[in-house]
């Protein structure tokens, strides 16, 4: 969940690590042996003002912060950031923007999204996507299995989401987070840090593709987005507007096509 905090009112919560949870199965109560996934509230301070508080997995938060700023159209490249600092036990990220960056949208209209809990973005305007790679449905199915196999955080904790950026040669980036939309921010940030292009490629996610996630995919220029679960109605509408192929319920041997502007290589008989 991403939300704008109220200045002076919201404080960072430091919580004690919980003990092992208990598992109820077949009428028995036992220790499950698996700790819940870690979560932190990260305050993003831009040019001295608090822009957002992001509830996220506490790792690679610099990439998450960069990706958030990129997809909210505040920065376009790492050169738009003059200084970046992580402090207060990695609960605060301070950013000083370079003169090339856009103005921070503190007064922009806030949109409550359908992310985990209530997410916030500054716009639901998609960016039209043209061209890009074409993919066989069977390849998407194989990529989904590869994504889930690589989700080590899920196997360790459960309760996390995974997303991957796939190009013509296959998997290029794999990220995990407790928030669905945070995974796309992480892909955007990691791509900036690695100077890796995203246009025309494919994003796969283990979580539901809602409107804000589809918008983020369009801003990355990805031509195809696929989920192990379902997109929302608004996400389908936005995919049609942006020209993005949208797939859901990707499983071994099957998937559902919600929109395809020529991104899939289907058999000629179809």
Question: pLDDT tens-digit profile of 218-254?
Answer: 999 999 999 999 898 889 989 999 999 999 999 998 8
pLDDT of 123 above 80: no
2-19+33-121, CATH topology level: Ubiquitin-like (UB roll) (3.10.20)
Distance CA 201, CA 21 (A): 40
Highest mean pLDDT pick, 28-37, 55-64, 119-128, 140-149: 140-149
**DSSP structure class, residue 75:** -
pTM: predicted TM-score of the whole model, two decimal places: 0.77
**So where are the chain's domains?**
2-19+33-121, 137-259
Per-residue pLDDT tens over the stretch 157-194:
888 999 999 999 999 999 999 888 899 999 999 999 99
pLDDT at 17 over 80: no
> What is the third-level CATH fold of 137-259?
Cytidine Deaminase; domain 2 (3.40.140)
């Amino acid at each position: 969940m991403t939300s704008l905090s109220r200045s002076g009112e919201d404080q960072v919560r430091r919580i004690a690590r919980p003990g092992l949870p208990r598992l109820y199965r077949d009428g028995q109560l036992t220790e499950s042996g698996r700790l819940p996934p870690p979560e932190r509230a990260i305050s993003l301070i831009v040019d001295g003002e608090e822009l957002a508080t992001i509830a996220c997995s506490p790792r690679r938060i610099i990439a998450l912060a960069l990706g958030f700023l990129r997809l909210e159209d505040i920065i376009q490249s790492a050169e738009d950031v003059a200084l970046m600092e992580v402090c207060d036990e990695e609960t605060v990220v301070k950013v000083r923007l370079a003169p090339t960056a856009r103005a921070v949208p503190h007064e922009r209209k806030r949109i409550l999204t359908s992310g985990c809990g209530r997410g916030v973005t500054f716009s639901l305007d998609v960016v039209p996507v043209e061209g890009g790679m074409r993919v066989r449905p069977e390849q998407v199915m194989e990529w989904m299995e590869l994504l889930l196999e690589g989700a080590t955080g899920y196997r360790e904790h459960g309760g996390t989401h995974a997303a991957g950026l796939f190009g013509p040669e296959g998997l290029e980036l794999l990220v995990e987070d407790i928030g669905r939309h945070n995974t796309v921010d992480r892909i955007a940030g990691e791509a900036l840090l690695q100077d890796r292009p995203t246009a025309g490629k494919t994003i796969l996610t283990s979580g539901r593709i809602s409107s804000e996630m589809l918008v983020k995919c369009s801003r990355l220029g990805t031509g195809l987005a696929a989920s192990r679960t379902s997109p929302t109605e608004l996400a389908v509408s936005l995919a049609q507007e942006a020209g993005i192929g949208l797939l859901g319920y990707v499983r071994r041997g099957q998937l559902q096509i919600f929109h395809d502007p020529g991104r899939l290589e289907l058999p000629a008989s179809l």
